Amino acid sequence: MAGNPHVGVLALQGDVREHAALLASLGAEVTLVRRPEELARVDGLVIPGGESSVIDKLARPFGMQHPIRDAISAGLPVLGTCAGLIMLADRLADGIEGQQTFGGLDVLVRRNAFGRQVDSFEGAIHVPALGEPAVRAAFIRGPVVEDVGSDAVVLAVLDDGSIVAVEQGNLLGISFHPEISGETRFHERFLARVAEWTAVRAA
């Protein structure tokens, strides 16, 4: 569809279909990205929830680790949800041995901060940057941000002070799953960044 944003969903592991369906419903052309040549064709990337350690391990044999890092450094808009937030963090508090991230967000993230799968929950959180109504957020073994560097901006905090959404330039990372709860505003915010990015590149 000419004129529509062309974005990718990293399709190594995780809830890829849910993100692809939501993005398509917002008018985006969506490519499932597994190879560097597919990444090179998109103007934005979503890193879905799943298992961050598995995404890390698969990114290497698929030759995706360094291309994604380079794309982030070059300004590619990226939305990371749950495990995707972990993959965007510069620092991990409790990564498994040898675990690496793509990086880019100046934050320290703790994996599985809300407990096991059976401890998953939904709740309403206020995100001032998105306005009203409150966001209905689904937390499934989600991470939390334990430290935020000077370059990152906090977007959402739980009542107990846990930071669950951050933004830094072209990067947006959140602890929960808007693609599951039907919340579209984070993806809309991401697509707005994509539009800005493509306009700058075309100028």
Q: Which residues are catalytic?
A: 82, 177, 179
Residues 6+ apart with CB under 8 A from 126: 134, 135, 156
Tell me the two tokens of residue 161.
């002070």
Residue with tokens 């529509």: 4
Determine the Cα–Cα distance for residues 94 and 79; give it in Å rounded to an integer: 22
Determine the Cα–Cα distance for residues 89 and 25; give it in Å rounded to an integer: 28
* CA-based torsion, 52, 148, 108, 77: positive or negative: positive
Find out whether 63 and 122 touch, Cβ atoms under 8 Å.
no
Identity at 179, one-letter amino acid code: E
What is the number of other CB atoms lying within 10 angstroms of the CB of residue 1? 9
* CA-based torsion, 192, 198, 202, 203: positive or negative: positive
Burial class (CB in 10 A: 0-12, 13-18, 19+), 179: buried
